[in-house]
């Protein structure tokens, strides 16, 4: 196990900085996901950690050792790629053995370590097959076994599950997390999938425009977003603009007023973000206050949940998800309902001068 540190890491292409002074630490045995929209710099950061790109500034340290200028072969890092990158002319056994042979492992010890790695991914019986004879999920497991067989001090994953179908991807997320915890190898995982990051990560580093927006546990990021970008990016949300009417009160465009927590000073233009699952639907007349009223336009059954699309009385659209088994799961299109907002679950961010929330 080893601690990874990025110290003011910068990457410049031509005249554009793609990574802008990123600093973070990944503790021993921790799995951290780099998450963000396309072009945010997450894959560029991973490639600099691996040594496939040279930083324009800053440092990469593993276990206190500065490896910023160390060639990839001497970094003791395992890589798992989106494309699997298996050798098509080699059997599964030889693919997994490749890195071990380069380290001088041979004979019974080589066989034992390959068998051990294949056993971890439940492919011990397929060592004599070739990649072309295997499914996509099996090939991904071979790539994972090849990466962990040498027991590197650091594992890097570049969107390794994005080519799998949804059911297999869910299964592989669980298996990958179990294996990483079993081995205790410090790991960095690049993904654009929020659910995937939430499922496998000890902590998540959310990036935008080459900068860290928030670095915290999945629970902290979901429940206490650091800024407007994180609140909008994580989860599925309704977004509205308005102005702080009084301490703790936001008046939305259209005139409706909501009680919310942690608001700026009265008069401040704000964006309010309310996740689909953070509102209750109530039959009229509704008790409890802090409600908006609207008419159900669409109802969609999605297993344990029901999703509603409502036309609010002020003209805006609101999307809500509720438990299918509860009383709110039985409303139908055309019904007039109240949307009750939890003041503590609505995120409010000031709107910058150019019109974008902070």
Q: pLDDT digits over 24-66, tens only?
A: 999 999 999 999 999 999 999 999 999 999 999 999 999 999 9
Mean predicted confidence (pLDDT) in 130-152: 90
Confidence class for position 132, pLDDT limits 50, 70, 90: very high
The larger pLDDT score, comparing residue 218 to residue 14, is at 218
Token readout for 243 is 């102005």
Token readout for 313 is 């009385």
Strands of the 65-66 sheet, one edge to the other = 16-26, 4-13, 57-62, 65-66
CA distances (Å), 291 to each of 258, 267, 284, in order? 7, 22, 11
pLDDT beyond 90 at 83 = no
Which position has the token pair 């004879």? 133
| Domain parsing of the chain, residue ranges | 4-228, 238-350
How far apart CA 260 and CA 250 sit, in angstroms, is 7
How far apart CA 290 and CA 141 sit, in angstroms, is 50
Q: Are 154 and 4 spatial neighbours (Cβ–Cβ below 8 Å)?
A: yes
How far apart CA 306 and CA 279 sit, in angstroms, is 13
What percentage of residues in the chain have a pLDDT greater than 90?
74
Among the listed residues 230, 223, 180, the one whose alpha carbon sits nearest the alpha carbon of residue 200: 180
Q: Are 256 and 238 spatial neighbours (Cβ–Cβ below 8 Å)?
A: no
Q: Are strands 305-312 and 317-323 parallel, antiparallel or unpaired?
A: antiparallel
Name the β-bridge partners of 331: none
CA dihedral 89, 91, 95, 101 (to 10 degrees): -100
Q: Which CATH architecture has domain 4-228?
A: 3-Layer(aba) Sandwich (3.40)
Token readout for 117 is 């790695």
Q: Are 214 and 197 spatial neighbours (Cβ–Cβ below 8 Å)?
A: no
Which position has the token pair 């009417």? 245
How far apart CA 127 and CA 277 sit, in angstroms, is 46
Give me the pLDDT at residue 206, please: 98
Which position has the token pair 């009385």? 313
Other C-beta atoms closer than 10 Å to the C-beta of 9 total: 25
Mean predicted confidence (pLDDT) in 164-187: 87
| Chain segment 219-261, per-residue pLDDT in tens | 999 999 999 899 999 999 999 999 999 999 999 988 889 999 9
Confidence class for position 122, pLDDT limits 50, 70, 90: confident
Token readout for 131 is 């990649």
Give me the pLDDT at residue 72, please: 93
The larger pLDDT score, comparing residue 329 to residue 314, is at 329
Q: Are strands 77-80 and 154-158 parallel, antiparallel or unpaired?
A: parallel
Q: Are 234 and 198 spatial neighbours (Cβ–Cβ below 8 Å)?
A: no
Number of H helices, E strands in the chain: 8, 20
Mean predicted confidence (pLDDT) in 162-188: 87
Mean predicted confidence (pLDDT) in 159-163: 84
Mean predicted confidence (pLDDT) in 12-17: 90
Judged by DSSP in three states, 74 sits in helix
Give me the pLDDT at residue 1, please: 66
Which position has the token pair 């942690």? 262
Q: Are 192 and 38 spatial neighbours (Cβ–Cβ below 8 Å)?
A: yes
Token readout for 229 is 């970008």
Pick the CATH number of 238-350 from 2.170.150.20, 2.40.50.140, 3.40.50.300, 2.60.120.1440: 2.40.50.140
């Amino acid at each position: 196990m080893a601690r990874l540190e990025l110290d003011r890491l910068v990457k410049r292409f031509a005249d554009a900085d793609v990574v802008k002074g990123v600093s973070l630490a990944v503790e021993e045995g921790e799995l951290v996901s780099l998450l963000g929209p396309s072009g945010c710099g997450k894959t560029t950061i991973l490639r600099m950690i691996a040594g496939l790109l040279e930083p324009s500034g800053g440092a990469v340290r593993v276990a206190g050792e500065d490896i910023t200028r160390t060639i990839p072969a001497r970094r003791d890092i395992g890589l798992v790629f989106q494309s699997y990158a298996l050798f098509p002319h080699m059997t599964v056994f030889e693919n997994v053995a490749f890195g071990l042979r380069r380290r001088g492992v041979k004979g019974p010890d080589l066989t034992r370590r390959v068998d051990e790695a294949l056993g971890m991914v439940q492919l011990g019986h397929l060592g004599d097959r070739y990649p072309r004879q295997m499914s996509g999920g099996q090939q991904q497991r071979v790539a994972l076994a090849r990466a962990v067989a040498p027991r590197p001090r650091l594992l890097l994953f570049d969107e390794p599950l994005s080519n799998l179908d949804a059911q297999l991807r869910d299964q592989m997320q669980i298996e990958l997390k179990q294996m990483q915890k079993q081995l205790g190898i410090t790991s960095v995982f690049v993904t654009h999938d929020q659910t995937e990051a939430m499922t496998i990560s000890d902590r998540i580093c959310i990036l935008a425009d080459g900068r860290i927006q928030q670095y915290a546990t999945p629970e902290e990021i979901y429940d206490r977003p650091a800024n407007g970008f994180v609140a909008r990016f994580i989860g599925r949300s309704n977004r509205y603009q308005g102005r702080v009417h009084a301490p703790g009160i936001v008046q939305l465009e259209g005139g409706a007023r909501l009680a919310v927590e942690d608001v700026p000073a009265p008069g401040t233009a704000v964006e309010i973000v309310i996740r689909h699952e953070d509102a209750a639907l109530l039959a009229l007349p509704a008790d409890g206050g802090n409600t908006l009223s609207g008419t159900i336009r669409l109802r969609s059954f999605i297993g344990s949940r029901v999703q509603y699309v409502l036309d609010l009385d002020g003209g805006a659209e609101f999307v809500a998800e509720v438990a299918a088994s509860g009383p709110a799961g039985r409303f139908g299109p055309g019904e007039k309902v109240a949307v009750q907002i939890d003041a503590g679950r609505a995120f409010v961010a000031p709107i910058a001068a150019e019109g974008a929330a902070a």
